[in-house]
Amino acid sequence: MKKTSFTLRLKILATKATPKPPIGPILGQYSINLMEFCKEFNERSSQIYKPNRGSRGIIVPTIVKIREDKSYSIELKPISVSGMLELLGQGKLSASGGHNDRAPRRKKIIDARIIYEIAIIRIARFAVEAKGQTLSPLPNDRSIGNFVSSQRPSHIFNECLMIKGTIKSMGYKIIGPKDL
Residue scoring higher pLDDT (66 or 178):
66
Write down the CATH superfamily of domain 4-76: Ribosomal protein L11/L12, N-terminal domain (3.30.1550.10)
Question: Which pTM value belongs to this model?
Answer: 0.65
End-to-end Cα spacing for the chain: 47
Q: Using CA atoms, how far apart are residues 92 and 109, in angstroms rounded to an integer?
A: 5
**Which amino acid makes up residue 69?**
D
CATH 3.30.1550.10, the chain: domain bounds: 4-76
**Cβ pair 49, 138 in contact under 8 A:** yes
Cis peptide before 22 (omega within 30 of 0): yes
- pLDDT tens for 107-134 read 688 888 888 888 887 777 766 666 655 5
